[in-house]
A and B are shown apart, each in its own frame.
Chain A
Amino acid sequence: MLLRLKQHSVLPGFHLALGYTIFYLSLIVLIPLSMVFFKTSTMGWERFWTVVTEPRVMASYRITFGAALIAAMINAFFGLLVAWVLERYQFFGKRFIDALVDLPFALPTAVAGIALASIYSSNGWIGQYLEPLGIKVAFTPLGIIVALTFIGLPFVVRTVQPVLQDLERELEEAAASLGATRWQTFKCVIFPSIFPPLLTGFALAFARGLGEYGSVVFIAGNMPMISEITPLLIITKLEQYDYAGATAIAVVMLVVSFILLFLINLLQWWTGKRCR
């Protein structure tokens, strides 16, 4: 108890570090974000409410949150698979594939959007084979999910990978020798330790998807009520020099995203505790 109160640390400078952290976060995150709220406050409550509940805006929330959620789930599953393969198997070209995973981070999102749109449009490499099956990807909501899956992949892989690396194989072997089936080993030994980072990766991919603009506008088709994402509507408002309206929608996005991310963090904390 005493020890904890004293907070012994090898390195000095706790106060300086904390002060710096708060200053830095304020400068980089809080002050810019507070401008969003400040601009919004120039409009009354009533106008705020009508702007953020317009049918077109409501439809865009459904699409943005829905597509980001589905894309994050796809990434959680396949990202885990990729991370697993990269950590557990040795094969030719592994380094290359490992580097490939980061590409969606580095690529300008507009380039990603244009590339995806040309591949999935009805005369593109993949699109031409999907079209006869009645599946249209480019210029539909499905296209949005594809774009968001693309840009969200590294988040899950890169959060799960280090944990898998630390997870000793001996644990699995021990579980097996104690008579656990393969499914039991996965469920009771591996999954509990990779679930928290998986959730983090999921949350990051989801958050990234919510704010994504550059790649989506090229593949979405941007039809009102059908495939318009919320960030596009924010740009639309700006195009009308309606700064307050744009920030009003941004505030809604911000608050809802914060609540969702907070819930995910809470869930992660809760599962993290239960494991131990």
Chain B
Amino acid sequence: MFKPFFSSRWIVLSCLFSSFAAYADVSLLNVSYDPTRELYQAYNPAFIAHWQKKTGETLKLQQSHGGSGKQARSVIDGLQADVVTLALAYDIDAIADKAGLLPKDWQSRFPYNSTPYTSTIVFLVRKGNPKQIKDWDDLIKPGVSVITPNPKTSGGARWNYLAAWGYAQLKTGSADKAREFVSKLFKNVPILDSGARGATTTFVQRGIGDVLIAWENEAFLALQEFGKDRFEIITPSRSILAEPPVAVVEKVAKAHNTLAVSQAYIEYLYSTEGQTIAAQNFYRPRAEIVAAKFANKFPKLELFTINQLFVDWRTAQKTHFDDQGVFDQIYLSTQK
């Protein structure tokens, strides 16, 4: 009974000491979302080396991963993040709006809408593509079962929804047709998992559904993890440019005296080394030299941005995903 108690006490003590050790030099906390785990595991040591060469300072980088919205709420509630790297701008908007920890125009602080790397929305299907899914139109065919998480609880799923909507709107030229398309699509969705990981489990482990709508980087990760002999990635003709943005949480960084290093941490993501690491971890790089090098890894497709079709995240969230928004209406009408 007592032994585990003492050992857990030792863990606490050693944690305390290790954090003291961290304070000896500069320490930085990057609050990120789930699928960037591998990316920052690779990027952080690279940046530490870069920073040491440049300034001689030894950095200690800490990572926190979780659902994007949950992470943003933690920062709002006081998690001391110097840097946030989340799944969608709306979550960083919320930090700016609710807690005022960074200026409202944060997205103009770094190049390319403050998104050093991008992704897009693709389909993961079972090997051999038994239902012959080639493009978005195949998802609304009767008898096709589509797996996507709930856009109300999952930030990633909001990109999925907007990708489908955007595809239909650009194809038909009308928002009404797009709405019809999306409601048909969600009629083919048998389960709404609360997060992207849950949806992947449903599709991969439980064998439910013919197609999983997923971020390209996560589809690559799933392929790497579960085997190319079981699944394949289908890239549609047109999809959304998913921009997971990054920002310095200025107020926190100022208080920690880490403003300069936080700034550098993000800027280095745009460097050739940063971009290469992003590309190696299945995110599409922005820098053209790096993009050219990885060109055969990422299939070409027509990409539209959220600003092109939905004004911005605040507007998209309000019209589509807030309570009584379009998504709710689609569900309330299909239930009757």
Interface residues in chain A, defined as those with a beta carbon under 8 Å from any beta carbon in chain B: 51, 54-56, 114, 117-118, 121-124, 138-139, 217-218, 221-226, 232, 235-242, 245
Chain A proximity of B72: nearest CB distance (Å): 8
Identity of the chain A residue whose Cβ is nearest the Cβ of B68 in the assembled complex: A239
Asked if B291 is at the interface of the complex by the 8 Å CB criterion, the answer is no
Chain B residues in 8 Å Cβ range of A118: 205-206
A26 and B201 alpha carbons, distance in the complex (Å): 42
Q: Are A240 and B194 in contact (CB under 8 A)?
A: no
A238 and B153 alpha carbons, distance in the complex (Å): 9
A138 and B202 alpha carbons, distance in the complex (Å): 11
Q: Are A236 and B152 in contact (CB under 8 A)?
A: yes
Chain B residues in 8 Å Cβ range of A56: 328, 331-332
Q: Are B194 and A238 in contact (CB under 8 A)?
A: no
* B194, B201, B207 pick with most chain A CB within 10 angstroms: B194
Asked if B198 is at the interface of the complex by the 8 Å CB criterion, the answer is yes
Asked if B58 is at the interface of the complex by the 8 Å CB criterion, the answer is no
A71 and B205 alpha carbons, distance in the complex (Å): 27
Q: Which 4 A-B pairs have the closest CB atoms?
A: A224-B331, A221-B191, A121-B206, A239-B69
A240 and B73 alpha carbons, distance in the complex (Å): 10
Identity of the chain A residue whose Cβ is nearest the Cβ of B189 in the assembled complex: A223
| Per-position binary interface string of chain B over residues 83-116, scored 1 when its CB falls under 8 Å from any chain A CB and 0 otherwise | 0000000000010001000000000000000000
Q: Are A225 and B331 in contact (CB under 8 A)?
A: yes
A255 and B136 alpha carbons, distance in the complex (Å): 46
Chain B residues in 8 Å Cβ range of A223: 191-192
Asked if B317 is at the interface of the complex by the 8 Å CB criterion, the answer is yes
Q: Are A124 and B94 in contact (CB under 8 A)?
A: no
Question: Beyond A114-B201, A238-B69, is A55–B153 a contact (Cβ under 8 Å)?
Answer: no
| Per-position binary interface string of chain B over residues 69-89, scored 1 when its CB falls under 8 Å from any chain A CB and 0 otherwise | 100010010000000000000
Q: Are A55 and B332 in contact (CB under 8 A)?
A: yes
Chain A proximity of B29: nearest CB distance (Å): 21
Asked if B335 is at the interface of the complex by the 8 Å CB criterion, the answer is yes
Chain A proximity of B145: nearest CB distance (Å): 11
Chain B residues in 8 Å Cβ range of A117: 206
| Per-position binary interface string of chain B over residues 197-239, scored 1 when its CB falls under 8 Å from any chain A CB and 0 otherwise | 0100100011110000000000000000000000000000000
Q: Are B335 and A121 in contact (CB under 8 A)?
A: no
* Known A124-B206, A139-B191, A236-B152; further 7 A-B contacts with Cβ < 8 A: A55-B332, A56-B332, A117-B206, A121-B206, A223-B191, A225-B335, A239-B69
Partner of B150, one of A54, A139, A222, A240: A222
A182 and B205 alpha carbons, distance in the complex (Å): 50
Q: Are B207 and A123 in contact (CB under 8 A)?
A: yes
Q: Are B153 and A236 in contact (CB under 8 A)?
A: yes
Q: Are B190 and A221 in contact (CB under 8 A)?
A: yes
Q: Are A221 and B192 in contact (CB under 8 A)?
A: yes
Question: Beyond A232-B153, A240-B323, is A217–B206 a contact (Cβ under 8 Å)?
Answer: no
Complex interface residues of chain B between 137 and 159 (CB less than 8 A to chain A): 150, 152-153
Asked if B250 is at the interface of the complex by the 8 Å CB criterion, the answer is no
Chain A residues in 8 Å Cβ range of B267: none
